[in-house]
Amino acid sequence: MSACATSPAGPHAVIAERGQREVFCGLTGIVWLHRRIQDAFFLVVGSRTCAHLLQSAAGVMIFAEPRFATAIIEERDLAGRADLDDELDRVATRLIARRPDIRLLFLVGSCPSEVIRLDLGRAAARLEERFGRSPRVLAYSGSGIGTTFTEGEDACLSALVPTLAPAPGPATRLLVVGALADVVEDQFRRLFAALGIATVDFLPARRADAMPPVGPGTRYVLAQPFLGETATALERRGAVPIAAPCPLGAEGTRLWFESIAAAFGIDPAHVDGVLSLPVRRATAALAAPRARLAGRRVFLFPDSQLEIPLARFLARECGMILTEVGTPFLNRRLMAPDLALLPAGAQLAEGQDVERQLDRCRAARPDLVVCGLGLANPLEAEGFATKWSIELVFSPIQGFEQAADLAALFARPLARRALLEV
């Protein structure tokens, strides 16, 4: 059931497809966002399906007093016997009484809450007033009808942007946007300091009361490729973008830092001096996984919008041959720096009709398939080596020190297949 059109986008052919999508909805973003913002709570307003999804995606994490939950809409809520606003207020009030340490409460919209047109923005304003602005209450949508997987983070961060304080003074500040692992953020801070960029903020910050300011003096750079709405919201606040490829791999990270340094007018010789050691170290570490990956053919199913930067890394730094690079959504503006580095003629696919894409995958006979957990074991059983893609969102993969770890994630399934005698 697809409207499948092949159109060239610059040097790349793009298959635009509609049909069954084997992807997560934006609610899944909660699983890593709640780890990132340590005093935030994510309250999904949805159905038992939403709760079940979070539980399935969160695995064992659900037991460590996680800061997310679902307010499950029940029959009586739909039948109008219980006023939905009152019910939501009751649930949220009880929650905050139980967790007084919470400083930021996100009301997260789902498919059911959107279809019944429950106005969570209004509910957030009402609750924030009731709580006396402690905690702050914000709303965004992580619904499957509106968001795919990592777009949940985009929706969350873009809801945060209007609440950020105005940036003081005329000095130019750098804002790095996108949830990163703490270890990656710390590495990046050290490199920014060595480069001489004085004021660097990260969005989201680790705590709700430490969110960065933003204003016309802000230059922002994306650390994740799926933040289109957040970028627009930041520009609405006067922040100016720095275009750069994603900081994946030795080359990608170097280009990312060089783009930022250029925007801050830093002497290229100094930049070179700061980056040369980590670049050399990352390149050397890549040699071993590269030996296993070079010349192998890879097929990427759409999942997180990380696929194009990953394909760029796999092709240029690991010597892999791209068969098809799927992405749930292709933001041509944000992706331009990575697209420019992709080998000419690479086959891209935006959207999905999973049965047809599986047909193409089987026909392409790739050596490695990057796909979700619903497809991975069935494809392994058909004889394909697979790398399950959700790990790429949960693992620290950005930056120089993680370049070889990132390559190893792809090399390991191939090594394992070579190893096993079963």
Partner 1 sequence: MQLTLWSYEGPPHIGAMRIATAMHGVHYVLHAPQGDTYADLLFTMIERRDRRPPVSYTTFQARDLGGDTAELFRTAVRDAYDRFRPEAMIVGASCTAELIQDDPGGLAAGLGLPIPVIPVELPAYQRKENWGAAETFYQLVRVATAGQAPPDRAAQPFCVNILGPTALGFRHRDDVRDIAALLARLGIAVNVIAPLSASFADLARLPAAHANLVLYPEAAGTAAGYLARRFGQKTISTVPIGLGATRDFVAEIAGLAQVTPPPGLAGECRLGWYSRSVDSTYLTGKRVFIFGDATHAIALARVATAEIGFSLVGLGTYSREFAAPVRAAAQSHGLEALITDDYLAVEAAIAAAQPELVLGTQMERHIAKRLGVPCAVISAPAHVQDFPARHAPFAGFEGANVLFDTLIHPLMMGLEEHLLGMFRDDFEFNDTAAPSHLGPHATTPPEPASPANAPAGALADALASAPVWRDDAEAELRKIPFFVRGKARRNTEIFARERGLNPITIETIYDAKAHFSA
DSSP assignments along 92-134, one per residue: HHHHHHH-TT--EEEEEE-HHHHHTT--HHHHHHHHHHHTTTS
| Angle formed at CA 276 by CA 270 and CA 282, multiple of 5 degrees | 150
Q: CA–CA separation, 283 vs 275, rounded Å?
A: 12
Q: Please, which of residues 283-322 interact with partner 1 by CB under 8 A?
A: none
338 binds partner 1 (CB under 8 A): no
Q: Which of 39, 114, 401, 405 binds partner 1 (CB under 8 A)?
A: 114
Antiparallel, parallel or unpaired: β 68-72 and 136-141? unpaired
93 binds partner 1 (CB under 8 A): no
* Nearest to partner 1 of 202, 384 (CB atom): 384
Give min distance, CB of 22 to partner 1, in A.
5
Retrieve residue 73's tokens: 């809409």
Q: Which of 5, 101, 115, 193 binds partner 1 (CB under 8 A)?
A: 115
Which amino acids are annotated as binding site for [4Fe-4S] cluster, given as ranges? 25, 50, 111
Among the listed ranges 44-52, 125-133, 188-196, 313-321, the one in contact with partner 1 (CB under 8 A) is 44-52
82 binds partner 1 (CB under 8 A): yes
| Cβ-based burial of 212 (10 A; exposed 0-12, middle 13-18, buried ≥19) | buried
Contact in structure between 77 and 109 (CB atoms under 8 Å): no
Among the listed ranges 72-80, 162-170, 184-192, 249-257, the one in contact with partner 1 (CB under 8 A) is 72-80
Q: Please, which of residues 370-389 interact with partner 1 by CB under 8 A?
A: 372-378, 380-381
Q: Which of 12, 15, 17, 23 binds partner 1 (CB under 8 A)?
A: 23
74 binds partner 1 (CB under 8 A): yes
H helices within 264-347, ranges in order?
268-293, 307-316, 332-341
Antiparallel, parallel or unpaired: β 368-371 and 386-388? parallel
Give min distance, CB of 225 to partner 1, in A.
19
Give min distance, CB of 60 to partner 1, in A.
8
- Binding-residue pattern over the window 350 to 369 for partner 1, x denoting contact by CB under 8 A: -----x--------------
Q: Please, which of residues 239-278 interact with partner 1 by CB under 8 A?
A: none
* Nearest to partner 1 of 87, 235 (CB atom): 87
Please list the residues that pair with 175 across neighbouring strands.
Answer: 201, 220
Q: CA–CA separation, 239 vs 236, rounded Å?
A: 7
Q: Which of 84, 86, 75 is nearest to 47 (CA)?
A: 75
Could you tell me how many residues of this chain bind partner 1 (CB under 8 A)?
Answer: 64
Among the listed ranges 108-116, 219-227, 286-294, 297-305, the one in contact with partner 1 (CB under 8 A) is 108-116
Antiparallel, parallel or unpaired: β 5-9 and 12-17? antiparallel
What count of Cα atoms within 13 Å lies in the side-chain half-sphere of residue 91? 23
H helices within 196-267, ranges in order?
228-236, 249-263
Q: Which residues bind partner 1 (CB under 8 A)?
A: 1, 19-28, 45, 47-49, 51-53, 55-57, 60, 62-63, 65-66, 68-75, 77-78, 82, 84, 87-88, 90-91, 94-95, 111-112, 114-116, 143-146, 148, 355, 372-378, 380-381
